[in-house]
Amino acid sequence: MANHKIVLIGGGNMGRSLLRGILKAGLTPAENFTVVDVDEGTLGALRDEYGMQTSTDAAEAIVGAEVVILAVKPYILNGVLDGLAPTVEADQLFISIVAGVKGSYISKKLGKNNPVVRCMPNIAAIVDAAASGVSACGSATPEHLDIAEELLGAVGEVVRVKENLLDAVTGLSGSGPAYIYMVIEALCDGGVRMGLTREISMKLAIQTVSGAAQVVRESGEHPAVLKDRVTTPGGTTIAALNVLEAGGLRGMMIDAVVAATERAKAVAEETSAEASEDA
């Protein structure tokens, strides 16, 4: 990766997170990285912080690049792809984090059968703790997946899935941080209800969730096994678990993932229809 020229189109939150992670990991030097955005203020701030090249002209910026990362909103993607088509080369890898747009559509719009890898990171990329799914599309090879996985790996964990499963990735890890934020908030409120200060409750809730996840990761044991290890006969934990089971926590979490996945599929269909109309 060290000699690859990378162009990032879109300097928003996720784009900046990827930029920071890639440069921090030393995957490519800043002089090999170009960020494209329409906002001069954004570009100036990125230049000052990271020292890479910047441009407002995407078609010019991608000339000679091996990897182009698409990090724009779906509603402006058509304009971006139309602008790139005249200068794009068939061997350039496009890595898309544009929600709801299939890789085949991107490749078709570019007109050169480019390899496309779709990615679904989550908000935790801002602290290098993302959970991301990556999928090879069209002419993309395992080597292209390796490149995408290395880049996304700079901001967290990466799994490979088929493109038709990216909506499930969205439902689980894409939306998942919001579920866990609610859990942390609820644990904190429970502590406050029982007399702890909010500051102490929040610290305990955050560390409890973080620590529990770390034990699962490092032990390699199934969460059910770890749960039983904490649960002593007639103790406090089994009393609490009984309440959670009676309230349907497990089923609600499963249903939440299903609901988010179904909504992701619907959004993808809507986005594809809009993109086709605008094409």
Same structural domain for residues 138 and 193? no
Whichever domain contains 220, its CATH number is 1.10.3730.10
Domain count, the chain: 2
pLDDT (tens digit, 9 = 90+) per residue, 143-187?
A: 999 999 999 999 999 999 999 999 999 999 999 999 999 999 999
Give the tokens for residue 143: 């080597």
Statement: residue 275 has pLDDT above 60: no
Same structural domain for residues 181 and 234? yes
Statement: residue 106 has pLDDT above 90: yes
Q: What is the pTM of this model?
A: 0.89
Strands 53-55 and 33-36: parallel
Statement: residue 279 has pLDDT above 60: no
The answer to whether residue 204 is domain-embedded is yes
pLDDT (tens digit, 9 = 90+) per residue, 232-257?
A: 999 999 999 999 999 999 999 999 99
- Residue 273 confidence (pLDDT): 65
Same structural domain for residues 121 and 162? yes
**21: exposed, middle or buried (Cβ count in 10 Å: 0-12, 13-18, 19+):** buried
Q: Which residue has the higher pLDDT, 204 or 100?
A: 204
Same structural domain for residues 113 and 56? yes
Statement: residue 274 has pLDDT above 70: no
pLDDT (tens digit, 9 = 90+) per residue, 52-101?
A: 999 999 999 999 999 999 999 888 999 999 999 999 999 999 999 998 88
- Residue 277 confidence (pLDDT): 63
The answer to whether residue 278 is domain-embedded is no
CA 123, 98, 265, 153 dihedral sign is negative
The answer to whether residue 238 is domain-embedded is yes
Whichever domain contains 21, its CATH number is 3.40.50.720
The answer to whether residue 253 is domain-embedded is yes
Same structural domain for residues 149 and 190? no
Statement: residue 2 has pLDDT above 70: no
Backbone angles phi, psi at 180, to 5 degrees: -70, -35
Please compute the mean of the pLDDT values over residues 202-228 and round it to a whole number.
97
The answer to whether residue 55 is domain-embedded is yes
- Residue 10 confidence (pLDDT): 95
What residue numbers bound the domain in which 83 lies?
Answer: 6-166
Report the alpha-carbon distance of residue 250 to residue 244 in Å, rounded.
8
- Residue 264 confidence (pLDDT): 87
Same structural domain for residues 80 and 20? yes
Last residue within a domain, chosen from 111, 140, 166: 166
